[in-house]
Amino acid sequence: MPKRHRIMLAKAGLDGHDRGVRVVAMGLRDANFEVIYTGRRQTPEHIVNAAIQEDVDAIGLSILSGAHMNMFGKILELLRAKQSADIAVFGGGIIPPDDAAELKKMGVKHIFGPGTSMEVIVEAINQTMQEREAR
């Protein structure tokens, strides 16, 4: 039986709209991921600490507020500081293409925009988990 990967989904900052992340949570659950949703208005510190405590394989951050560069940057910085940079980070929301490219250079594995199919999201995360396990 293949390993069931643990994914933490979170909403950071003052972003209060969480319908999309809930849909993604159900889709990942249906694709055999174990999903932990932290809820809305979390700090980067809370997200990283919870991810480490829950021993997750990846963090998925949903951002619609425009604070994506700051929030992803802080989460990546905290993961490195806590020797947990092996936890993959991906995200979704309203993120301009130029910012998405910069986030990937910073270490974010995937950015999924509005309308991305669950099939594409699941395939990308599965590929990232396979690459992570191959290291």
pLDDT (tens digit per residue) in 71-86? 999 999 999 999 999 9
Phi-psi region of 2 (alpha: psi -120 to 50; beta: other; left: phi over 0): beta
The Cα 48–Cα 51 span in angstroms is: 5
| Phi, psi (degrees; rounded to nearest 5) at 114 | -55, 140
The pTM of this model reads: 0.93
pLDDT of residue 79: 98
- Residue 101, pLDDT > 70, answer yes
| Phi, psi (degrees; rounded to nearest 5) at 89 | -125, 130
The Cα 32–Cα 84 span in angstroms is: 24
pLDDT of residue 20: 87
CB of 129 closer than 8 Å to CB of 110: no
**Starting at the edge strand that comes first in sequence, how are the strands of the sheet with 6-11 ordered?**
34-37, 6-11, 58-63, 88-93, 110-112
The arithmetic mean of pLDDT across residues 80-99, rounded, is 95
Per-residue pLDDT band for 97 (boundaries 50, 70, 90) equals very high
High-pLDDT (> 70) share of the chain, %: 99
CB of 11 closer than 8 Å to CB of 54: no
- Residue 42, pLDDT > 80, answer yes
- Residue 92, pLDDT > 70, answer yes
pLDDT of residue 1: 64
